[in-house]
Amino acid sequence: MKTLRILILLSMVLVWLGGCAPAPQAPQIIEKTVEVPVEKTVVVEKTVEVPVEVVKTVEVPTSKIPKDAKLTFWMFASYVEGMDDYFLGQVKEWSDLTGVPVDVTFISNEDMPAKFNAALEAKDTLPDLVAMDGTFFPKFYDAQVLADVSDVVKEIGAREGGFIPGAIAAFTVDDKAYAIPFMADIMASYFRKDLFEKNGGIPATYEDFANACKKINKADFYCWGLNMGGGGDNEYQMRGLIWSFGGKVTSEDGKTATLNSPETIAAMNYLKAVGDAGSFPPDFATVDDFGNNQYWISKQAAYISNAGSVLAWMQGNDPEYLNLTEMTIPLKGPVLQAATMNVVPFAMTTNSKYPDLAKSLLGYVTAPEREWQYIETSGYANLPVYQNLINRQVFTSDPFRNSMAQTLLYSYVDSWPAPLSSATAEIYTTKILSDMALSILVDKVPVEEAVAKAQAQVEEILARYYQ
């Protein structure tokens, strides 16, 4: 009876605790080092997602780790404060588990072309691991400096619904994966809700936007915080505009230049008309990729196209400003509703002396739980590349984040409609579209002449790759 009473009391306590339990929380990540008898094995990553079964990643036997082993990692520099330190912390966790030091170098978007091109000329200077802007992948692949990481992709790609198809396909050649997608970067649309609602409402089309700009522009305040002196945002914005008007840089196979078209000319005439209305800040031609962020932060513009870093800044620094902001899917043009998407890949180079260790670290930092932690810590400045993660409540329940997620449905890689290639990468990195637009807006070159010159530049690049 005493035992029975104890059991009854325990049952009542458990029932009471169940009734008072808090709302379900996000899955917890538990990391541990496991020692196996006979041979010590470091389990590089082990997660428990309740009630999902334990998932285990790459194992590296410590007996096989050379005492002098060391890895080098080139990582992209984040514009979100604190994110570089956070990534260093993730790498340190792996180092603490394995005892292998990792030297991390952060590279800005502006410095990537020079840094990468120099390393591809002197291949012995390449690191073990490199995170790059997606447009650089073809150059690394063509230089035959990327190692096959299909085994890592197979292992971590089996989690969280797998990779978004377009993300992994961009780095897969002949059924072999030569990089692992880490996160997607899209160009979301930010509007000053209070200003546009006074002038016809939040625009859905480029035509509506141009009409509103004529009313919003005034001294020291500009409708469009356009930035054209950077290394990425400007090219993204020009592609989105041209695609929306029906223009394309190349044919679907990427071998024929198609930029000089009535559709591209119409897009550039539109841009010129918006500029002639005084819609751009006076230094728009020279400000870098942080320029549009700064226009928004300093409240100098009513609209910008930017990644989620701006949203993260408002959430952390100016919630009142966030209340005046509305984020939407891309503006609709006469033909399409389009924006550019970049998928950031992490890759291992053939230069690595310790490929097993490099793969272990690669799988560790790109696993879905790591990707989620990185994105979550950044304030959701980027989007996950795992299908289940994009549907988490943190996106669907928040209108700002949901707008970013929905923008993915209208986003294409910069080579669209062609696949990523060294030729399309060169078209992007040489900023042909930005230079075309600047010649129209700043140098007052006639639209048809500027488009024809850009067409010739694209043709010259394609001719070198496709004889």
113 & 220 share domain: no
Residue 383 covered by a domain: yes
* Alpha carbon distances (Å) from 244 to 153, 240, 334, 340: 34, 6, 7, 11
State the residue range of the domain holding 177.
64-185+342-400
Amino acid at 205: T
Residue 35 covered by a domain: no
Residue 150 covered by a domain: yes
192 & 244 share domain: yes
237 & 357 share domain: no
Burial of 392: CB neighbours in 10 Å, binned 0-12, 13-18, 19+: middle
Based on the structure, what is the number of domains in the chain?
Answer: 2
Distance CA 277, CA 267 (A): 16
In the block, which residue shows the tokens 């971590």? 156
Residue 434 covered by a domain: yes
pTM: 0.68
310 & 352 share domain: no
* Alpha carbon distances (Å) from 153 to 10, 90, 184, 360, 466: 47, 19, 17, 12, 31
312 & 374 share domain: no
Encoding tokens for residue 206? Answer: 């480029």
pLDDT at 13: 29
Polymer length in residues for the chain: 467
242 & 143 share domain: no
Distance CA 310, CA 381 (A): 8
Distance CA 460, CA 186 (A): 29
**Using an 8 Å Cβ cutoff, are 361 and 91 in contact?**
yes
* Alpha carbon distances (Å) from 377 to 169, 288, 309, 312, 316: 27, 25, 12, 10, 12
Q: What does R_g of the chain's alpha carbons equal in angstroms? A: 25
Of 264, 252, 218, nearest in space to 432 by CA: 264
Torsion angle of alpha carbons 36, 39, 40, 42, nearest 10°? -80
Q: What is the DSSP string of 76-135?
A: EPPSSTTHHHHHHHHHHHHHHHH---EEEEEE-TTTHHHHHHHHHHSGGG--SEEE--GG
Within 10 angstroms of residue 289's Cβ, the number of other Cβ atoms is 21
96 & 240 share domain: no
Within 10 angstroms of residue 445's Cβ, the number of other Cβ atoms is 15
Provide the residue-wise pLDDT of the chain in tens; the chain has 467 residues: 433 333 332 233 223 333 333 333 333 333 333 333 333 333 444 333 333 333 444 455 554 788 889 999 999 998 788 889 999 999 999 999 999 999 999 999 889 999 999 999 999 999 999 999 887 898 898 899 999 999 999 999 999 998 877 678 778 877 889 999 998 888 899 999 999 999 999 999 999 999 999 999 999 999 999 999 987 889 999 999 999 999 999 998 889 999 999 999 999 999 999 999 999 999 999 998 888 999 999 999 999 999 888 998 999 999 999 999 999 999 999 999 999 888 899 999 999 999 999 999 999 999 999 999 998 888 777 889 898 898 899 989 999 988 988 888 788 888 888 878 889 889 998 999 999 999 999 999 999 999 999 999 999 999 999 87
231 & 90 share domain: no
Residue 412 covered by a domain: no
320 & 347 share domain: no
pLDDT at 166: 66
247 & 363 share domain: no
Look at residue 148 and give its three-state secondary structure: coil
Encoding tokens for residue 195? Answer: 């200003």
CATH number at 214 reads 3.40.190.10
Look at residue 172 and give its three-state secondary structure: strand
Residue 250 covered by a domain: yes
Distance CA 408, CA 395 (A): 12
Amino acid at 92: K
Distance CA 346, CA 374 (A): 14
Exposure class string for 59-90: b at 16+ Cβ within 10 A, else e: ebeeeebeeeeebbbbbbebbbeebbeebeeb
Distance CA 47, CA 27 (A): 9
**Using an 8 Å Cβ cutoff, are 101 and 95 in contact?**
yes
Of 144, 82, 78, nearest in space to 106 by CA: 78
Helices (H), 277-308: 291-297
**Residues β-bridged to residue 218:** 221
170 & 283 share domain: no
Residue 230 covered by a domain: yes
302 & 448 share domain: yes
Residue 18 covered by a domain: no
